[in-house]
Structures are given as structure tokens and as C-alpha cells.
A and B are shown apart, each in its own frame.
Chain A
Amino acid sequence: MTCVEDLPYEVILSKASFAECREYVEKHCPRYCHVDPGFRLFDKYMIGVPPIAIGVDGNAVVFPFTKPCYGTFLLRIEDTEEIARLAPRLKPR
């Protein structure tokens, strides 16, 4: 299983709340979708308060990633395969 922490990620928001991450995606990503907890992204089951907002900005996926002791981070990872998988769900901002 891929570990998100091993992928080349950029941190957009650090130690944020889950709501702040959702709001950022909905306001700043040109395309986004909502998914439920347990949705698979980068081979991991997503953790979050539904609806979880996942954004697409250029060739990058923007998504929340929660660690128990550190809070939620909004990450940006370039991956066109994941974008293609998300494509049917995506809607413009």
C-alpha cells in the first residue's frame, strides 16, 4: 500500500481543522468533488467528516490528510492517474 507521506506532496494548510480544508478546496480549486469517508485515494481510505472535498488544480490533487496528534493537513500531489479516476465526479467551482 502506498504511504501518502512517501509521495512528493506540498502542504497547503498545516494543522488545520477539517472544515477549513473543505472550505479551501471549494473556494480555491478550479474543479472539485465530494466523497464519503472510506473513499480510496492514493491507495488509502480517506478519513474525514462527510462530505470530504477533494480538489483538482492543474495536474495536482488537493485533499485533506488527518493525523491523530497533528490535525488535518491539506496536501497537493501531482498525479494525472488519480485525476483521471476522479474525473467523472468532478464539477467546476
Chain B
Amino acid sequence: MSDSRRRRAEHIRRLMAAEGASIREQSSRLNRNRIDATADFAETEALRDRAREIKADAIADLPALIDRVTAAVEDGGGHVYLADDAADATDYVEAVAADRDAETVVKSKSMTTEEIGLGDALEAAGVDVWETDLGEFVLQVADEAPSHIVGPAMHKSRAEIARLFNAHFDPEEPLETADELTAFARDFLGERVREADLGITGANFVLAESGTVVLVTNEGNARKTAVTPDAHVAVAGVEKLLPSVEQLQPFVELIARSATGQPISRYLSLFSGATDSPTLDFDRPDDPLGSGDRDRAFHLVLVDNGRTAMREDDDLRETLYCIRCGACSNSCANFQAVGGHAFGGDTYSGGIATGWEAGVHGTDSAAEFNDLCTGCSRCVPACPVKIDVPWINTAIRDRLNRGADPGAFDFLVDGLAPDEEPAGLDPQKRLFGNLGTLATIGSATAPVSNWLADSTPVRLALDRLFGIDPRRDLPEFRRETLVDWAADRHAGAGPEPDQEVVVYPDVYTNHVHVERGKAAVRALEALGVGVVVPALPESGRAPLSQGMVGTARGQAAALADALAPHLDAGRDVVVLEPSDLAMVRREYERLVPDGTADRLSGATYDFAEYVYGLLANGADTGPLPSAAAGHTGSAGDAGVVYHGHCQGRTLGIDAYVEAVLDELGYDVIASDVECCGMAGSFGYKAEYYDLSVDVGEQLADWIRDHPDRTVVAGGASCHEQLDALLDRPVSYPAELIAPVPDGRPGDA
């Protein structure tokens, strides 16, 4: 593997060892809490739609909202400053601090102040700055960067924080418990708050009509920071603006559920400019509240710092809808393993960080971690404003590919790869992006291609040139593809079917996991459906996953063209590989014309979804084997552990798999592991192998807890990962649902 891949692998291994346990424990707990809290709340889906609509409208209307909030705050005697960039914003706040002779400033947690480096700028200007959020305070003492948008010190365990505080503050009694650590920090920071001359907060939302800053906290530090010193400076990205209090409600009901699984945060503060609360002068303790010398002052600093350009950028715009709840981080299998110090840029972390970093710090700031989004899409249903986080990652990956310098190995792939990508594309990405071409050659030359691929010199070359980890078994290409098998197959002698479908021979099913395709054909035929398996173009999934959007677009158009006559003939399309189904249902709306995407999406089904539909419409399960009768490999065992493919789960197809298996008498336990960690090419890449296995082990461990059950998994990648980690066979849903081969010629 190349030096840069080796360094990246080493960096990830180090972070997994140092921070992984703490990150996993906390982020996966928050993820479970979110799932429970949103499932228990009937309005969740309606509010997500409403919240997205409000954000989209607000971003569209941003210049007018900036004018309105300026007028409202100034009417109330406050000040608004619209800062073009980070330096402009920090200069303004420094001037406010200097104007008030501020020696001490207290801050509540704000990612936007992290983004503009406000704390460092004030310190450099000679002001003492204290972070009052306990997580941020831990980081200030440790001199470390946040590892999570919401839980900035999530990578630190209680014991580490205790060691840190004991070493740094040398308390009379060493601190140990969470209670002791909290009490110590509260008392220490309480003094800082009382002596502070200026309180700086961020804002979760800003209401233009009333000039209101909305703050969401659990600790109460934002309240104290805003209300104790006479002067309050709120720093907010311009994207935080909402028209008025009327638009706030959906966010109030969504943000805490999405972030931590709480119905509502402990405190939701709405402060409109300088509030009517009495001033507090702790230097004159025997005066009544409100007797200080100065009136309250309020400054709202609205930060642009790239946001206006993001608003004009079709791929980055919806990043501005983000309400910074961290749900995309918590629902991400890779994030759970490494945390934001690997999966993050200068300021932001998790899936949405690619959008934020590219927007506020530039595309290069997203380059280091962008690969860690595998496109598994588990963040998509988690996001309270329905941002397509995987698409943002794909679009930026494409830009990074196009910005790359032409490399040394282009001669190796230029003639071979029929893609539409620029010279200089990472050869590893180009190789995986051209999976279909590889597979066609692989099948045509099998078994020689498989023997060769297993040989040491070839594996060394694959590692050196393409960064394919030698510890991974390569897919074994089958000489007879599914398309070949189907063409040679003698159909049953039953009555002419009145319904015909296309079974889509995706690359994996056609060339590698051919049995899954055969099983699907047998099952559909047994249910009275005629099946055709034409040779069809790739869906575009492989290049899209590498950020090769142009190539993916070409493949999508070709597949749509090739399927059109089948759709015209009234055939539905049945897809076995969830990642390809997700292409059609989720991604095609961005890759092919609207009408084409809608038509294709409406006629395309997951295999189990289609079987479910047949059964619901009166088909008899009679021809299908019941659990009691057994299926190949399971010896009549009715217990199943099922891991749904990540992208399939996002599409909601798990329910059909479970319902059909249930109908056949299986007892199904489904995993709640978000992704197996293989994610197409990701687990093959040498720099990510250890991370991929670490993620996969979460699933493998759960499966090992159910030793007597048949293992069923939905995607080709899930199978490759589990085959590598388990010493038990893994089946596809189709293999349990299909009748066993009946010995007819060509059936097996």
C-alpha cells in the first residue's frame, strides 16, 4: 500500500484504540435513544417534512430575513453585524470586548464560534475565555478539538476526564465520580460566569421578526452566559434564521429527539435582544438585583463565511438546512467506530461535515475524511430536516476526483476503463468504479481469473497499485453468469403466466453470487410469474460510490434505456441487490430525467417486496418451502437472525423480508446494527480494512450471540463481510424463500 494509505490506516487504528470505545458507547446509545424517541412520537414524519420546508423557504428568502432581523434587533436597542468571513466576525467581537474593557469572557457551546476560531482570537487579544459547557470545558483544559457536534468530548471516558482534572487543577481530594467532576466544573465555572464582563453564545435558531436568539441546552450554561454579564453577544451562521416564532415549533419538537432522544431539551431559551431580566453585579453583593451601573447590551453577529456561496450551490445548499443535532454522526457505523477526530474536518464532524467543511473551509478540508462516508444512507431517515447527506458526500467526492493531479498509474487503466472520469483519479477509485468491466472479464476468464487473483504476486500488485488489502478474499467470479443460466434454462411446463417480470442481473448476482439470482427466479416462477433475465447495463452504483458521478449518470441512462421496452411491455423489475434498488429509488432522481426516474422507480421492486405483494394479492405460499420443511443448508431450523442491508433498510424493505419469512413460518430476529462495514468497496481498501472489520465485528458479535439460528443477510457486501468474520454459512432471503432445485434440467 502507498505511504499515504499507510499513514491514513495508522491514524485510524490509533484513534480506534484511543477513542473508539468511548465514542461507540455514547454515539450508539444516542442513536438508540433517537430511534426510540422518534418512533414513539406520532408526528415525527409530518414534522420532518414541515421542518425541511421551513428551512428551504428560509434559505431561499435569506436576504430578506437578514434585513428583518436587523430591523428587529436595532428596534430593541441591540446591534447586528453581518460578518463576511471568520476574521471579520472575530474582529467585531474583539472590538465589542475591548469597548467594554472585558477581561473575562464566558462562552456557551457553539460550533460556529469554533468554525471562526473566536476563542483563540479573543485569547490572542488578551481576554480570558472560558467555555461553560462541560464538554467544551473538558476540551479547553485538554487543549483538544471537538469529536462530535453535540457531545464535543464524547471521545473521553469519565476516568480520562478525572485524570485530566486531577493533573490540571490538583484538587485537595482527587476527583473520581461523574458527580464530583460535575460539581467541580460547575463551581469553577460559576466563579468565571460571575466575574465575566461579556457572555458569548451561539444560536440554534434566530427568529427574524422578533430578533430572537433560540438556545437549546441541558446544563443551563447558555442561560447563565446570556443573562449574567451585562452584555450578550450571540454568534450565528446566517442559515439559522427563521421568519418568526410560528416557524419554530417543529424544530423544538424534533431537535432534542434527534440529538439525544429527549422529547425536549432541559432548557429552550428564547432571548429577544437585551432582555428585561435585572442585571447582576456580583462585585456589589448587597445591592438588589438590577442595580448595576449599566443597562443590558446585545449584539447579534451573523456569520456568512461561505454560506452565501453554499446557497447558490445546488449540491451544498441543503447543508444550510442542518440544525446540528448530530443524528447523522450517531447513526453512522463508521463514526461510531472512529469518532469525529477521524471522521471530521477542521470544525465539523460526521456525515454532514463534508458539506460544512467544503462550504466554509473549502473542498480540500473535506478531502481527508470524505471517504469515510460509504453512502450506506442510514443517516437519511435520521436527519430531522431530511438532508441527503450521502449525496453531498458523493458530490464533493466527485469534485475532489476532478481536482486531483494526474497520477503515475493512469496508463494502467486508461485503455481498460470505459469511464468518463478525469486523468488523475485515484486508481483505487477508478478500479472499484469500473466493477462491471472487471466482473465481465473475470467471468469470461474464470476460473483462471480467480486462480490468478489469489496468487501472491497479483495480490501484492493489487495492494501496491490499487490499495486493495491483501487480507480480503476477492470475489470469486463464476464462469456461468445468471444471464447465461437463465438463457439456457428450460422453463417449467406449467400454464402460460399472465404476469412477467425482469429479474435484474446486477454485477454481483450475475457474476459472483449467482445462486441468489437462481433462487429468486425459481421462487417467482413457483408463484406463477414468468421471469426474464436479460443482459442489462450496470445501475451506476459502483462508480457513484467512488464519486464518479459522470460515469454513474451514463450507466443510469443506459439502464433506463435498456429497461424501457420491458416497462412498455408491462413488466415489473425485480432487484436482488439493495444497493442497486437504492440507486433506482433514491439516486436516479438526480441522474436521469424526472419522468424517467419516477417511471422506473414505480416499476422496480425488491425481491421480497415483490413476493410480499404477490402473497398479499392472493398468491398461495404452497409452492414455497415452509420453515418446517427446511431449505438448503438450514436443515429445517426455523430460527433466523437477519441483517438487513443498510441501503435496503433506508428504503424500508426489511419489513417485507421479515413479513415473508414470517409467513413461511420462520422466527426472525433482526439486527439493529446500522451497517456491516463492508459497504461495497470500502472494506477492500487497505487504508480502511481495520475500520471495516471493527464495524463488522459489531454485527458478527451479535450474530454469534444467536448460535443456533440461520444467518440471513440482504446485500452482497454484507455476505462478503460476514463470510470473512463468521464460520457459519450466510444465506440470502431469496434462498430461504425459493423452492429447492427440483432436478429439472437447468434448474440447479
Q: Are the chains A and B members of one assembly?
A: no
B residues bordering A, Cβ < 8 Å? none
A residues bordering B, Cβ < 8 Å? none
